[in-house]
Structure 1
Amino acid sequence: MTDTSTSTRYVVADTVAGQVRGFWRGEPGAGGSAAFLGIPFAKPPVGALRFAAPVPMDPWEGVRDALAFGATAQRGDTGITLIPEPSIPGHATLNVNVFTPAPGETDAALPVLVWIHGGGYISGSPASPWYDGRAFNRDGVVTVTISYRLGFDGFGHIDGAPSNRGVRDWIAALEWVQANIADFGGDPARVTIAGQSAGGGAVLRLLAMPAAQHLFHAVWALSAARADVAPERARSASNRLARLAEVEPTPDGFASVPEETLRSLQEKASHPESGDRLAGVRTLLADGLSWGPMIDGDLVPEPTLAALRSGVGADKPLVLGTTDDEFTMVLDDAANKLRFVPAGLAFAKLGVDRERRRAYLADNRPQRRKGTAALLGRYVTDTVFRSTVVKVADARAAAPTWVYRFSWPSPTRRWALHCLDVPFWFDCLDDPRVAAIAGDEPPRRLAAAVHGAAVAFARGDDPGWPAWSGAPGTTRVFGGEASAPDVVADGYRSVRALL
C-alpha cells in the first residue's frame, strides 16, 4: 500500500503486532527501496524489564510510524569512531530497521540479510548510515539491522536475573524476522546473519548455539571479536561493579543504580584492580573482551570453538575474514618510543613465551621490518582477530566455510585497518564520512568485488572462490597488490604460531 498524497511516498506493511508506515527512497519498482525504521520487536527494557529477557510487544491499533530510527542502547557521544554510529535517546531500544525493495509483496521471497552491529559489546548503533540496506536492496536482498542491550545491562552476570540478555535480544530480533519478514518481501527460509567486530563475534556465537539454529541459514562474520566470557570472570566483574556502585550484586541492587552510573563504572570494573595497564593488555589478549556472551551452561552451554568442533551449525555455510591490520594503528603514536626496543623484549613484556615469539617473529619478517610498533600492533590484530579465523575454519572441518582477507591499505590511516572493509561490503562509498577512513577516491572495483561476494552468498551461491573446507588454508585476498593472486593457498600462515 503506497500513499502518494504528499511529496514523501509512504508505504504500509503488516507485522504480527500491527501495521507500520515506512517511506520510499527513489521510485518504487525503478531501483528504489523502502525504509521502515525503529520497529519495536520487544517492549522497552526499563523498570521491571531492565534485566529481564525481552518481552514481545503488545499489538497496537492503527498504523504505527516507522519513519525515524528508534532509540539506541548506546548513549551520548562516544567520541571519534571509525564508523559513524549515532546515539538516539529514548527507552524503546529493542527495535529493528528494515530496508526492502518489495514491501508488502508476500510472494517476492527475496533473500534476507540481518546485520548485527559491533562496538565491543558496549557501544555501537544500528542507525549508522553505513548500515543502510540500499545497495543490497538494489541487488534484490532485503536488509534488517537490529539493536540489543549493551555492556552490563546486556551481558553482566546478576544472580536471579536471566543470563546473556543481549544474546536473548539477538534471538528475539531474529524471531521477529521469521514471523514478519515475508510481509516486507523477504523469505524467512533464506536468512543470512552478518556482523562486524563484536557483531562478527555475535553471529559466530549464534552459529554455535543449538537454541538459535532455526533462525537463520547462513553466516558472514567480518573481523569477529569473540567473547565467550567464563562464568567466574563474569561474576568477578559484576561483583566489582557492585562494590564500585556501593550496592548489593542483586537485581534490586543494580536496578537502584541509574543506567548512566553503571555505564560509567563498567569499564573500571572490567580492569585489574591493581591498575596495571600492561596486566590489562595481557588479560585482553589472553581472555578476550570483558563484557559479552557468557558461558552460562544454559542458553550458551559451551565456548564457540568447542560447539563448532562438535558439529553445531555444520549445516550452515559460513564466510569469515579480517582486515590485515585491524588494530595495528593503536601503536602508531608509540612508533618513535618503540623503535629502539627489540621486538623480542617487547614480546617478553607481553608474556609471550620464547618458543612462540621466535616462531611468530620468523613468520612475520615483512611486518618486523616496519618497526616494533607495527609488529606489536599486528600481534594484537592476530591474537584478537586473525587467529580466530583459522581456529573457526579448522574447528568446522568439512562444514562449508570460505575465508578471505581485506588487504587494501587506507590512504588516510596507512593500514588495512579495523572497519575499513565495512563501506566496501555495504557498497556505500558515496557516504561523505567514508573519505576519513578510505580517502577521496576509494576503489569502486574493490567495493563491487566485496559487495558482490556478499550478495551472491546471501542469494544462496558460494561467494566466488574455493572453500577452505575443501582445501584448508585457501583464502581470497581482496585489495592485495596488483601483481599478487586473488586466491592464495595459505592466506593466514603468519598466525600459525599463535594457534
Structure 2
Amino acid sequence: MHTIVETRQGPIQGCAEDGIGRFFGIPYAAPPVGALRWRPPDPAPGWTRVRQATEFGPICPQTAGAVFTPRASRQDEDCLYLNVWTATVDPQAKQPVMVWIHGGGYLGGGGCEDGTDGSALAGLGVTVVSFNYRLGAFGYLAHPDFGSNFGLQDQIAALQWVQQHITQFGGDPERVTVFGQSAGAHSVRTLLSSPSAAGLFHRAILQSGGGERFTFDAKQPGERTYAASQAFIAHLGGGGPQQLRQIPTEMVKQASHLFSGVIPKRGRVHTPANLAWMPVTDGDIVPADAGTRPPAPVPLLLGYTHNEARYFIKPGMLPYNRLLLWVLTKALAGPQARAVRSELATSAGSLYDRFDRAYTAAVFAEPLLATTERLLSSGHEFYCYRFDRVSPGAEKSDVRVQHTAELRYLFGTLTTDGYDDVDQQVSARIQAHWVAFARDGAPTADRSWPRYDDLARIAVIADTPGQGRIDDDPIAALIHLRRTRGPGVRSGRKFPSRPASGREKL
C-alpha cells in the first residue's frame, strides 16, 4: 500500500502492516495550550513537507480511567490527535467509516489504547478513526467566565476533520458511524442532541452508556460539574481565565482528579453518577432541552453487558453483607427497594452476585429500558443487545461479563490468555454485526436481528446467538417503576445562581 496521503493539511506518511494502512498522530485541531487552554478548538495548522504519521500523539493529562494500555509515549495538553486504519487509500473506495470515541469516565484513556486497535475492523472493509479529546477539568470545566464543553467540542472538531479528509483514506463521508463505550457512549448521546454535530455522522452505536438519567440521581443536570468547577477554581487560587491559564499542567491535573468525584467515600457505593467532569447544557453546543428532545434521526444500536457492575465493585472492595445490600437497594431503588430485595432473595449465588444484579439493573439496564420507551414514542429506528459471553478467563477471575467486556471481542484484540475458540467465534460475530450496521444501518443483512419494537426483543450476544429482553431480569422492571411512578426529572439551568455543594450521598 502506498502510505503517503495528500490531505488538505498537507502530505502525511503512515505505515502498512498485514495489508492495513496505519496513520497515527494526525493533528485535527491546534494544540489547546497556553492562551488556548479552556477555549474551543482552533483549526490545526497545515504543513508542506511530508509529515510522519507512524506514532500516536500524546494523550490528555490524566490520573485514572484508561481501560487498556495507552500506546502514546507521553501525556500532554497538546493532545488533539487522531488515528486512521484502512485497507485502502483509494478515494473511490467509499468504505463505511467508523469513528471510535473512547470511554474512561471523561477522566482517562485515549484513541491509542491497545485493546481498541482498529486494525481488525479495518480488515473487514471499513475505515476506522479514533482520537483523543480533552478530559477532566481540561475538557469539562464549566463556568461563565471560562465557557464549557471543550472536550465535546473537540469531538465535533474530530468529526469535522473526518468530513473533510476521510475520502483520502478510502472512506465515505456520507456513511459515518460514531460508536463509543461508557463515557464514549454518553458522548454519542450528547452529540445526537447537539446542533453543532448535525450531519457529521449517519449512524450511532452506544455501548454501556448514554441512556436516560439514573432514577436515583436527584441532582440537577450539571450540578456536580458546576460545583466541581467552582471548587477547582478556588483550589487553584480563585483567579480568572488569564491567571488559571498560566497554572502548570501538573497542578491542573491533580486538582482535576481531586474534584472528579472518583475518590471513594467510606462505606458508600459509588456509581458513574458520582462523576463530576462531563458535558453540560450550555444552551449552545448542548441545548437546554438536550435531555428531552428526540435525538438526531439516524439509526441507533444500543446495549450493555450482563455484569456491568463488576468493573466498578470488585470482589473484596467492600464488605458485601446484608446491611450494605440494604443501603445499596434503598439508594438505587427507593420505594421499590423492598421488592428488589425480595427478588434478590430468590436468586442463587453470593451476596456479591446480588450487588452485581442490583447495580447493573439500576445503572445500565433500567436507563436503557427508559431510552427504548423514548425512542419508540418518537418513531426512531433502533436495535438493542446484551453481551453475555463469559470467557474462561473471566469465569476464573469472577469478573464475568463486566463493563468493557465486549471491547476486545469487538476490536478483535483477544489475547491468548483467558480466551478460547468460542471467544474467537463470538468476536467474529460481533464484528460482523457492527460492520453491517456501519454499512447498511442494520446489524444483520437478513434482518435476523429484529428492530426494537413493541415486542421489545433484543439480541443476546453469547456462545450462540439468541434473543431476550432488557427486563429479562425483573429487577430492571422493578426499578423502572420508580421512574414511571415518581416525579419527573428536573430540568437543568445554564449556570448555577449560587454555589452548590456537589457532594454525593449515594
Which is worse superposed, 55-64 or 323-332?
Answer: 323-332
- Does 1:428 pair with 2:409? no
Counting only pairs closer than 5 Å after superposition, residues 55-454 of structure 1 correspond to structure 2 as 55-75=42-62, 78=64, 82-89=67-74, 90-103=76-89, 105-224=90-209, 230-248=221-239, 250-271=240-261, 276-277=265-266, 281=270, 284=271, 287-302=273-288, 304-307=290-293, 311-313=294-296, 315-328=297-310, 330-334=312-316, 337-339=319-321, 341=323, 343-344=325-326, 346-348=328-330, 350=331, 352-353=333-334, 355-364=335-344, 368-397=347-376, 398-409=379-390, 410-414=394-398, 415-429=400-414, 431=415, 435=417, 438-439=418-419, 443-454=423-434
- Does 1:478 pair with 2:461? yes
8 Å CA contact 2:224–2:275 kept in 1: the answer is: no
- Residue 346 (structure 1) shift: 4.8
Mark the runs of 5 or more structure 1 residues left unpaired by the alignment: 3-10, 27-31
Give the paired residue count: 463
> Which AA in structure 2 matches 1:487?
Q
Mark the runs of 5 or more structure 2 residues left unpaired by the alignment: 214-219, 481-506
The higher relative CO (CA closer than 8 Å, separation ≥ 6) is in: 2
- Residue 380 (structure 1) shift: 2.5
> Which AA in structure 1 matches 2:124?
D
Report the Cα distance in structure 2 between the residues aligned to 1:346 and 1:119, rounded to whole angstroms. Answer: 24
Report the Cα distance in structure 2 between the residues aligned to 1:198 and 1:297, rounded to whole angstroms. Answer: 21
Report the Cα distance in structure 2 between the residues aligned to 1:321 and 1:394, rounded to whole angstroms. Answer: 14
> Which AA in structure 2 matches 1:243?
A
Counting only pairs closer than 5 Å after superposition, residues 35-74 of structure 1 correspond to structure 2 as 35-74=22-61
User: TM-score, normalized by length of structure 2?
Assistant: 0.84
Report the Cα distance in structure 1 between the residues aligned to 2:153 and 2:317, rounded to whole angstroms. Answer: 42
Report the Cα distance in structure 1 between the residues aligned to 2:317 and 2:262, rounded to whole angstroms. Answer: 26
Check 1:473–1:202 CA distance in 2 against 1; reply closer, same or farther (3 A cut).
same
Report the Cα distance in structure 1 between the residues aligned to 2:317 and 2:48, rounded to whole angstroms. Answer: 61
Report the Cα distance in structure 2 between the residues aligned to 1:261 and 1:144, rounded to whole angstroms. Answer: 31
Report the Cα distance in structure 1 between the residues aligned to 2:99 and 2:78, rounded to whole angstroms. Answer: 20
SS at match of 2:128: strand
SS at match of 1:333: coil
- Residues 389-448 of structure 1 show CA distances to partners (whole Å, capped at 9, x for unaligned) of 22222211121111100112223432211111001111222x46xx3xx44666211111
Report the Cα distance in structure 2 between the residues aligned to 1:243 and 1:451, rounded to whole angstroms. Answer: 47
- Residues 212-270 of structure 1 show CA distances to partners (whole Å, capped at 9, x for unaligned) of 1210000111111569883443221111112222333x312422322221221223324
> Which AA in structure 1 matches 2:253?
R
- Residues 312-370 of structure 1 show CA distances to partners (whole Å, capped at 9, x for unaligned) of 31x2011111111112354443489434548445533x3742x311333355556x432
8 Å CA contact 1:328–1:417 kept in 2: the answer is: yes
- Residue 290 (structure 1) shift: 1.1
Check 1:303–1:427 CA distance in 2 against 1; reply closer, same or farther (3 A cut).
farther
1:456 corresponds to: 436
8 Å CA contact 1:424–1:451 kept in 2: the answer is: yes
Check 1:107–1:395 CA distance in 2 against 1; reply closer, same or farther (3 A cut).
same
> Which AA in structure 2 matches 1:301?
P
SS at match of 2:395: coil
> Which AA in structure 2 matches 1:258?
P
Check 1:335–1:113 CA distance in 2 against 1; reply closer, same or farther (3 A cut).
closer
> Which AA in structure 1 matches 2:228?
A
Check 1:312–1:336 CA distance in 2 against 1; reply closer, same or farther (3 A cut).
closer
Check 1:497–1:46 CA distance in 2 against 1; reply closer, same or farther (3 A cut).
same
8 Å CA contact 1:154–1:164 kept in 2: the answer is: yes
8 Å CA contact 1:227–1:294 kept in 2: the answer is: no
Check 1:134–1:21 CA distance in 2 against 1; reply closer, same or farther (3 A cut).
same
SS at match of 1:294: coil
- Does 1:22 pair with 2:47? no
Check 1:136–1:334 CA distance in 2 against 1; reply closer, same or farther (3 A cut).
closer
2:497 corresponds to: none
Check 1:469–1:331 CA distance in 2 against 1; reply closer, same or farther (3 A cut).
closer
Which is worse superposed, 225-234 or 198-207?
Answer: 225-234
Q: Percent identity?
A: 29
8 Å CA contact 1:200–1:222 kept in 2: the answer is: yes
Check 1:276–1:59 CA distance in 2 against 1; reply closer, same or farther (3 A cut).
closer
Report the Cα distance in structure 1 between the residues aligned to 2:262 and 2:105, rounded to whole angstroms. Answer: 18
Check 1:139–1:251 CA distance in 2 against 1; reply closer, same or farther (3 A cut).
same
SS at match of 1:52: coil
Report the Cα distance in structure 2 between the residues aligned to 1:150 and 1:447, rounded to whole angstroms. Answer: 30
Aligned residues: CA RMSD: 2.8
